[in-house]
Amino acid sequence: MATLKDVARLAGVSVKTVSNVVNGYSFVKPDNRRRVEEALEATGYRPNLGARNLRRGRTGFIALVLPELSIPYFAELAGLVIAAAQEHEWNVLIEQTFGTLSGERSALASLGPHLVDAAILSPEALEVEDFQLSVPAVILGEHAVDVPISRVGIDNVAASKAAVRHLISLGRTRIAAIGAHPQRGTAALRLEGYRAALAEADLPFVPSLVVPALNYHRADGAAAMKALLDLREPPDAVFCFNDLLAIGAMRAAAERFVRVPSDLAVVGFDNNEESVYSSPSLTSIAPDKAAIARRAVDLLHRQVGSGPGREDVETPFSLQVRESTVAR
Amino acid sequence: MATLKDVARLAGVSVKTVSNVVNGYSFVKPDNRRRVEEALEATGYRPNLGARNLRRGRTGFIALVLPELSIPYFAELAGLVIAAAQEHEWNVLIEQTFGTLSGERSALASLGPHLVDAAILSPEALEVEDFQLSVPAVILGEHAVDVPISRVGIDNVAASKAAVRHLISLGRTRIAAIGAHPQRGTAALRLEGYRAALAEADLPFVPSLVVPALNYHRADGAAAMKALLDLREPPDAVFCFNDLLAIGAMRAAAERFVRVPSDLAVVGFDNNEESVYSSPSLTSIAPDKAAIARRAVDLLHRQVGSGPGREDVETPFSLQVRESTVAR
DNA sequence: ATGAAAGCGCTAACAA
DNA sequence: TTGTTAGCGCTTTCAT
């Protein structure tokens, strides 16, 4: 692999001149510039990023810390973050935590300033004392504990309220919720929105209709739904805290011959691509994922260099109404 | 951030000794070791990976080049590759190509030996002359053109044959195929398996029952299925070259009130998690993705240092029979 | 406008 | 066993 020195020797100039050309600096004598460019071409020179970054004191990477890529929401988000990072010449390093405290801690621990310039976090279990980051960071979605770190995401309370209001507008009165979780900040907020919408419509809050979920996978949604259907008075609607839970819930309903939406209306959260093609298709809260990714990366880019500084960005969402609440 | 020198000064030893301790080399006098370890602890020293790798001539990264993370198969695979890479102290850099030739070319171009130690590729459009890689690489799945690069994947012909044989064993005789593609190597092989299974059962090969798909998204499967249902003699079964196409096909069938599996049996390929929870659940070829990820990473690890060398690894697969072919 | 040389933090010869 | 030192490839003063 050709180095700057090789190119310099071939062009008959100093490394400085070559470096100037490569980086588009200052004025290089046209004659030298031409010679250098020819040498660059001839050697197929490619800068050694490691060396450059060592010198510049930056790494050229940002970390994206998330539970798992096999969860569609995070996979879609990761794709968008990679695209957004590219615009700032950043490469993205993905770390999976599997939503465990130890996984999240070890991901954070590996985030030395030597490895990444900044980090995007989707924590689920971290505690306040864990947030001693050595690089600028931004949290996606809310977190249970209040930490002095920037945040990008939608208004979870408002979004959940919109989802439940929609169910109420359909005339449903026994509306269940799946996905309560003691640790997760977003779960608490979504529950809050759920309760607010019920209160607003003078519907009673029935604790037995709120089912917790330790994980937010399809299997958890199915299990929760089965429990709800076993109730003496089963719900006529259910608000699931993510689409995966909703997909699982619909599956469980189908297995019990409960019809969606006539017997049971279902709303999800995340608007996964999968939900557009399920049968029935799933009504869901659709956060603007592209906006989340772009704003998070931009925010980080601004923060690198200018020090920490907390900033909260609210991104838009919409309610996508589909067959799981309104038959076609 | 503390450097080796800082630690050395604090411990009253040379950087070499500290380096030795950090890297677990040779014998360090117990007394010194203790002092160094205390200093390490006190300073919170973390090695600068960039500098270390610059010196060692490696980068600590491998690239994973794939079409897009929003495709569940690649998202699941990426998660497994990240996990496997961790065992070799590799970080994974994901590059999305969106399946285009230009996207794949620019991804390869950015793969200087300075950036990554090796690469895992899932190419779809690359041509033979593009494979002038400067680092060890392995291709996941087959590729249309024959290149001297290692390969890890299942036997696509055998897998497709198994899928179609299953449909034949159900008594289906007009079996369609969705996903033919002029460029993709895997598409050609899956088509080959499809034809072989038909021939084996003395079923005619009907060209109009083979529908191409430019992309392998759900929408493409739906469009293809609609075309098939418009045929004068529609199929009684369909083999889709991936699960996404199959999900789209089932959706299109449902919209036309065609019942799965009674009117139409459907088989997919990839065994996405999504397919277990769809209604009806989807019969699918299940490649052992964890094995693919692990073998690919291991192979690369062996190849780094020992030079190129081509090696083909065949990983196992199975057929998961579900409701889309056998009603419960 | 260009060259010489220092140095980013680390590892590895080579000495001691 | 430990210290000294060169150098990985690059950028950047500081001269010229």
Residue B307 reports pLDDT greater than 70: no
Can you give the distance from the CA of residue A54 to the C1' of nucleotide C10 in angstroms? 11
Chain A, 139 to 178: residues with Cβ < 8 Å from chain B are none
Q: Distance, in angstroms, between B183 CA and closest chain A CA?
A: 24
Q: How far is the CA of A56 from the C1' of D12 (A)?
A: 10
Strand order from edge to edge, sheet including A265-269: A210-212, A175-180, A237-240, A265-269, A283-287, A317-320
Per-residue pLDDT reduced to its tens digit, A114-168:
789 999 999 888 887 788 887 899 999 877 677 888 999 999 999 999 999 999 9
pLDDT band at A56 (very low <50, low <70, confident <90, very high): confident
In whole angstroms, give the CA distance from residue B103 to residue B109.
Answer: 10
For strand C, is any atom closer than 7 Å to the CB of B3?
Answer: yes
> Is the confidence at residue B324, as pLDDT, over 90?
yes
Going by the DSSP 8-state scheme, the letter that residue B325 receives in this structure is T
Beta-carbon separation of A48 and B72 below 8 A: no
Give Cα B227 to chain centroid, integer Å.
30
Task: Identify whether the C-beta of residue B293 lies closer than 8 Å to the C-beta of residue B140.
Answer: no
pLDDT digits (tens, 9 = 90+) for B66-91: 999 999 999 999 999 999 998 888 99
Q: Are strands B317-320 and B283-287 parallel, antiparallel or unpaired?
A: antiparallel
* A-to-B residue pairs, Cβ atoms closer than 8 angstroms: 123
- Angstrom distances, CA of residue B289 to CA of B72, B76, B281: 12, 8, 20
The predicted structure's pLDDT at residue B135: 86
In chain B, residues with a C-beta closer than 8 Å to the C-beta of A75 are 69-70, 72, 75, 78
A204-215 pLDDT, tens digit each = 999 999 999 999
Sign of CA dihedral B186, B187, B190, B191: negative
The answer to whether the beta carbon of residue A11 comes closer than 7 angstroms to any atom of strand D is no
- Which band of pLDDT confidence, cut at 50, 70 and 90, is reported for residue B257? very high
Asked if the Cβ–Cβ distance from B50 to A69 is below 8 Å, we say no
How close B205 comes to chain A (CA, Å)? 30
Contacts with B, A 193-232, CB within 8 Å: 218, 222
Query: Of the given ranges (A195-209, B63-77, B281-295, B297-311), which has the lowest mean pLDDT?
Result: B297-311
Contacts of A76 in chain B (CB under 8 A): 69-70
DSSP-derived secondary structure for B6-55: HHHHHHTS-HHHHHHHHHT-S---HHHHHHHHHHHHHHT----HHHHHHH
- Span A251-267, pLDDT tens digits: 999 999 999 999 999 99
CB-strand contact B20/D, under 7 Å = yes
Strand C contacted by B16 CB (< 7 A): yes
With CA of B27 and C1' of each nucleotide, the nearest comes out as D1
**Sheet holding B175-180: strands in order across?**
B210-212, B175-180, B237-240, B265-269, B283-287, B317-320
pLDDT tops 80 at residue A313: yes
Q: How big is the CA angle at A62 (ends A1 and A183), to the nearest 5 degrees?
A: 150
Look at residue A38 and tell me whether its pLDDT is greater than 80: yes
The owner of tokens 């990554």 is: B116
Residue A26 has pLDDT above 70, yes or no: no
Q: What is the pLDDT of residue B308?
A: 62
User: Is residue A27 scored above 80 in pLDDT?
Assistant: no
- Residue B54, nucleotide of least CA–C1' distance: D8
Chain B: residue nearest A58 by CA? B50
B59 in contact with A at a CB cutoff of 8 Å? yes
Q: What is the mean pLDDT of chain B?
A: 92
Six-digit token pair at A227?
């429990």
Tokens standing for A278? 């399920």
Contacts of B93 in chain A (CB under 8 A): 91-93
Q: What digits encode the pLDDT tens for the residues A218-277?
A: 999 999 999 999 999 999 999 999 999 999 999 999 999 999 999 999 999 999 999 999
Give chain A positions within 8 Å (CB) of B50.
50, 53-54, 59, 114
Q: Which tens digits make up the pLDDT trace of B52-65? A: 888 888 888 999 99
With a pLDDT cut of 70, the percent of chain A lying above it is 97
Per residue in B167-177, pLDDT (tens digit) is 999 999 999 99
| C-alpha to C-alpha distance for B288 and B292, rounded to whole angstroms | 6
Q: Give the pLDDT mean for B22-42.
A: 84
The whole-angstrom separation of Cα A307 and Cα A294 is: 20
Instruction: Measure in Å the smallest separation between the Cα of A272 and chain B Cα atoms.
Output: 10
Using the CB atom, is residue A28 less than 7 Å from strand C?
A: yes
pLDDT of residue A144: 64
From first CA to last CA, the distance across chain B in angstroms is: 62
Which of B's residues 21-50 have CB atoms within 7 A of nucleic strand D?
Answer: 26-29, 31-33
Residues of chain B with C-beta less than 8 angstroms from the C-beta of A112: 1, 46, 48-49
Per-residue pLDDT tens digits for B3-31: 888 888 888 888 888 888 888 876 788 88
Which candidate, A275, A272, A271, places its Cα nearest to that of A286? A271
**Vertex A10: Cα angle to A7 and A13 (nearest 5):** 80
CB neighbour list of residue A46: distance below 8 Å, 6 or more residues apart: A1, A2, B112, B114
B134 neighbourhood in chain A, CB within 8 Å: 1
Instruction: Calculate the alpha carbon distances from A320 to A5, A19, A253 in Å.
Output: 58, 53, 21
Give the model's pLDDT for residue A307. 61
HEC profile of A198-254? HHHCCCCCCHHHEEECCCCCHHHHHHHHHHHHCCCCCCCEEEECCHHHHHHHHHHHH
Note the strand D nucleotides within 7 A of protein beta carbons.
Answer: 1-5, 7-13
Q: Tell me if chain A has a CB within 8 Å of the CB of B46.
A: yes
pLDDT at B260 over 80: yes
Whether B127 has a pLDDT exceeding 90, the answer reads: no
* Type of residue at B75: A
